[in-house]
Amino acid sequence: MAFNRVDIETKFRRNILLPIYWKYIKHWRVLEYYKKLKEYQWKTIEENRNLQRKKLFELVKYAGQNIPYYKQIIQKNNIRFSEDTIFEDIKKFPILTKDIIRKNFDQLYKFKDNTYYRNTTSGSTGEPAIFYQDRHCLEWQIATKLLFDEWAGRKVGEPIVKLWGAIDDILKGSRGIRGYLKQQLYGVTTLNSYMMTEKNLYDYVQRINKIKPRLILAYSNSIDELCRFIQEQDLSVYFPKAIMTSAGVLFPEFRKRIEEVFHALVFDCYGSREVGDIACNCEKTDELHLIPQIHYLEILNDSGKEANQGESGEIIITLLTNYTMPLIRYNIEDRGVFSKAKCSCGREFPFLKKVEGRIRNIFRNKKGDIIDGGFFIELFYFRDYLKKVQVIQKDYDFIVVNLVLKDHQKIKVANTDFKEIDKKIKLAMGNETEIKFNIVDEIKPSPSGKYLRTFSQIDPQDKNFRE
Ligand SMILES: [Zn+2]
């Protein structure tokens, strides 16, 4: 049997590079956890539920002993809990919102060792919050990704193309040597979806044809734009085994177009920065399998009670792997529906039927380049004085940024930052763009009640323009 280039590189990565890197250089337990997840998926629903019970109890116990916020909650509400009754006991804990996290931040974490790192999310309500995570959590997150990739037919080390936000590509021109080495190591090539010019889109198609990825991972609206471009230009493109979309709603028309262009299976993954990948569909269904050993999910209806099967409600997540800053009953600000269906794939992981929310927006500049709304949001990450931000494209060369400040004392810092952000927005939108920064007392949600972080008023017919 003759091996081609992709096979040889894959084998080298899978059998030599990655095991050495994870095990001996980083001392990460990624492969061990991945193996565990592969076993868990074939356990019965009761066995998985028992493993989840244990993990949930251990996390709550640890938080109650070590994290000041939870110590107080337990004392104040006189909460008693045990391993046997933890699924009932957990309901006595209040919902953790981003607002509570911001107000009680210093009470919410304790560093166990020096493997912690800072993460942030803007969330669908546009209020950024900061989180600490640690290596243990990261190892499980990588293992989860490997499992979901495997469901989509991509084995460890096989090439992936990611059509994803890469802010440095716009601001610095490239991702540098570290980015290149990471790409070689993991077999992941990132094509920047924050900035999709016609030239870039041509280039992306050529690179996909050269790399021959097993899997393309993409923001749902970005892959849809790429598909339209391929159709309009009548280009020929390599067919990967699968396309996996994330970060945004996979509309049926997106799915249809992806299937037409790439002749590949389409997978949908639900995840977020603060809790990692949560659920993904398998090859047999469009519904999303959850991993009970990583996340404990509740869905609460509009009266705050446990939603019935098929009833839509707010998704409340307990992340079972992060002990540095435990998120217990965290409101992720998405809505979803539990499904009781059994999957013909044989995996007894529970099902999330659908996730609502997560609408992303795209902007267009005068040249017709497509700029993902995520680009603008990322420019405002880690600005501690900010409470809320909203970026609106009023015209091809006019952007309005509405900001609610948390700390008015820091207006000087903010003004300096705005100058720098102004330049960065111009890099993407064009030099002639006017950018107006408005400091406001509040940002009102749209008439439907949904608060939009970014939206463009350019093309109301565009399917991404939702409100
Ligand atoms: Zn399945």
208 within some domain: yes
Same domain, 305 and 396: no
366 within some domain: no
466 within some domain: no
Count other C-beta atoms under 10 Å from residue 379's C-beta.
21
Count other C-beta atoms under 10 Å from residue 45's C-beta.
13
For residue 31, what pLDDT is reported?
93
CA 114 to ligand 1 centroid distance, Å: 38
CA 287 to ligand 1 centroid distance, Å: 8
CA 466 to ligand 1 centroid distance, Å: 31
Which tokens hold the place of 98?
């981003």
374 within some domain: no
CA 40 to ligand 1 centroid distance, Å: 13
pLDDT lower than 50: segments of the chain? 448, 460-467
Same domain, 111 and 172: yes
For residue 5, what pLDDT is reported?
84
CA 356 to ligand 1 centroid distance, Å: 21
CA 185 to ligand 1 centroid distance, Å: 30
Same domain, 31 and 135: yes
For residue 357, what pLDDT is reported?
59
CA 254 to ligand 1 centroid distance, Å: 22
Same domain, 433 and 309: no
CA 247 to ligand 1 centroid distance, Å: 21
Same domain, 388 and 427: yes
For residue 438, what pLDDT is reported?
93
Same domain, 342 and 243: yes
Same domain, 316 and 398: no
Residue 219: domain span: 1-360
Q: What are phi and psi of 163, to 5 degrees?
A: -100, 95
CA 377 to ligand 1 centroid distance, Å: 34
Q: Cβ distance 350 to 282 under 8 Å? A: no
365 within some domain: no
CA 33 to ligand 1 centroid distance, Å: 20
CA 280 to ligand 1 centroid distance, Å: 9
For residue 465, what pLDDT is reported?
36
For residue 223, what pLDDT is reported?
93
CA 55 to ligand 1 centroid distance, Å: 23
CA 269 to ligand 1 centroid distance, Å: 13
CA 289 to ligand 1 centroid distance, Å: 7
For residue 319, what pLDDT is reported?
97
For residue 467, what pLDDT is reported?
33
For residue 456, what pLDDT is reported?
82
CA 172 to ligand 1 centroid distance, Å: 42
CA 288 to ligand 1 centroid distance, Å: 8
For residue 410, what pLDDT is reported?
86
